[in-house]
């Protein structure tokens, strides 16, 4: 069993913001694979997808970003999932808009949701897909990440979401090292 988590903030006011890259990706994966987020447990909306006898849990924490680890830890405990079977997807200010980067482990890089997951799980050994949202240093970081993409930016971002969704789907059948070499 594997847990794939896209980070974001709950509520319509955040639905299309830069900080909700993980939620937007989860929605695209659900659309491609044909499942829905029809379960609610451990402070998360989630859906279950089955393939070749394996169960995959796709989740969107319903805590705010900074408390994402509560939902992740809860689902991992409830379903008895190890850190090796966890994949987290989140936005990244330090990557150019539309760039995706896959990593096996590392610090949060300042991403508060990832930081909370690392703190609560007690490990940095977490597979992740980071989606570049760029950064505008003339705007307060909080305002920037909670802001919406322009039409031009959204076109670039949607291409990144499509590529990242393909990486997530590919990861269902392949070791993460192979996914990294194919999509990085």
pLDDT score, position 107:
86
CATH classification of the domain holding 37: 3.40.50.1470
Q: Is 81 exposed, middle or buried (0-12, 13-18, 19+ CB in 10 A)?
A: middle
Backbone angles phi, psi at 109, to 5 degrees: 65, 25
Residue (of 128, 134, 183) closest to 157 by Cα position: 134
Task: Identify whether 90 is a catalytic site residue.
Answer: no
Confidence tier at 153 by pLDDT (50, 70, 90): very high
pTM of the entire predicted model = 0.94
Domains contained in the chain, number? 1
Which residue in 2, 18, 19, 90 is the catalytic one? Answer: 19
Structural domain range at position 136: 2-183
């Amino acid at each position: 069993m594997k847990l794939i988590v896209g980070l974001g903030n709950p509520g319509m006011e955040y639905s299309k913001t830069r900080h909700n890259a993980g939620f937007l990706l989860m929605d695209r994966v659900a659309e491609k694979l044909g499942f829905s987020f029809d379960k609610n447990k451990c402070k998360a909306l989630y859906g279950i997808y089955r393939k070749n006898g394996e169960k995959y849990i796709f989740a969107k924490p319903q805590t705010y970003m900074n408390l994402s680890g509560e939902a992740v830890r809860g689902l991992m405990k409830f379903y008895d999932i190890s850190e090796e079977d966890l994949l987290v997807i989140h936005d990244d200010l330090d990557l150019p808009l539309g760039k995706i980067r896959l990593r096996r482990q590392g610090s949060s890089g300042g991403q508060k949701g990832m930081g909370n997951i690392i703190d609560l799980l007690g490990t940095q050994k977490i597979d992740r897909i980071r989606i570049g949202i760029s950064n505008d240093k003339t705007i307060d970081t909080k305002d920037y990440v909670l802001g919406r993409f322009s039409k031009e930016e959204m076109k670039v971002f949607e291409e990144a979401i499509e590529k990242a969704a393909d990486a997530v789907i590919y990861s269902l059948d392949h070791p993460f090292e192979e996914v990294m070499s194919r999509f990085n």
